[in-house]
Amino acid sequence: MEVKQVIAVRTDLGMGRGKLAAQVGHACVMGAERVRLSRPEWYEGWQGLQMKVVVRVDGMDGIDDVRRRAADANLPWSQVADAGRTQLEPGTVTCISVGPAPSDLVDGVTGDLRLL
Amino acid sequence: MEVKQVIAVRTDLGMGRGKLAAQVGHACVMGAERVRLSRPEWYEGWQGLQMKVVVRVDGMDGIDDVRRRAADANLPWSQVADAGRTQLEPGTVTCISVGPAPSDLVDGVTGDLRLL
């Protein structure tokens, strides 16, 4: 069983690449920790390669859509709100992770999104 | 006690921003997991904000330098080698994380590096 984590990032915020990478890092850690505790068999299956794919959404509507679809599919998701120390207003949602979870299930939620 | 994780990324590989963000995500998860197991008090102190800072090195020499300095300071580090499925040759080292660990200790290793 292939297991992956997909992170959808907002492209409308004009984040620099370091900022963007740190936000994706938050989503990866939060999502992985959630799945380690709630679905240890998925977490275990994700070890080794720890496949991660970063995709794009063009605004908050896209984040909301991913979150709803993940919830409908009973997949664990983690949304990142920026602390607002640099570049963004506090509380700005920057990205959302889905999984790590079986790839076919994740693809049902994020499969139509383009790579960042 | 402020605790942070710093991730140093190679800028000489020409990674696209999605690729780069995924590599940083690997470093964040690997580093956090290592510290959760080896220094739970640091991991605990890092919860909440989960401060992450992404900095740059201009080649493998820079990665090696960070790794040696982290080891000399007894700080946990995690180096990411790419699986080579896209953009890079298999085994290419893309980035290295230091911590999460107390910020003053981490700054002793990475404090002279520029933000990405």
CA distance B99 to chain A (A): 13
- Biggest alpha carbon distance in chain B? 40
> Residue A1: pLDDT above 90?
no
pLDDT at residue A88, rounded to an integer = 87
Residues in contact with A67: Cβ distance below 8 Å, sequence separation at least 6, in sequence order: A77, A79, A96
Q: Is B53 on the interface with A (CB under 8 A)?
A: yes
CA distance A55 to chain B (A): 7
Question: Could you give the angle at the alpha carbon of B59 between the alpha carbons of B114 and B35, nearest 5°?
Answer: 70
Q: Tell me the pairing of strands B77-81 and B93-102.
A: antiparallel
Answer whether B115 sits within 8 Å of A20, measured CB to CB. Answer: no
Segment A23-49 mean pLDDT = 96
Task: Name the superfamily (CATH) of residues B3-110.
Answer: Bit1 (3.40.1490.10)
Segment A3-31 mean pLDDT = 97
- pTM, two decimals, is 0.96
**What mean pLDDT is reported for chain A?**
96
Q: Is B54 on the interface with A (CB under 8 A)?
A: yes
Report whether the peptide linkage leading into residue A100 is cis, meaning its omega lies within 30 degrees of zero.
yes
Sign of the alpha-carbon dihedral angle for B105, B12, B24, B16:
positive
Going from N- to C-terminal start, the domains of chain B cover: 3-110
Answer whether A25 sits within 8 Å of B27, measured CB to CB. Answer: yes
Tell me the per-residue pLDDT of B58-85, one tens digit each, with 9 for 90 and over.
999 999 999 999 999 999 999 999 887 7
pLDDT less than 50: residues of chain B:
none
Interface test with B, best of A29, A33, A44, A51 (most B CBs within 10 A): A29
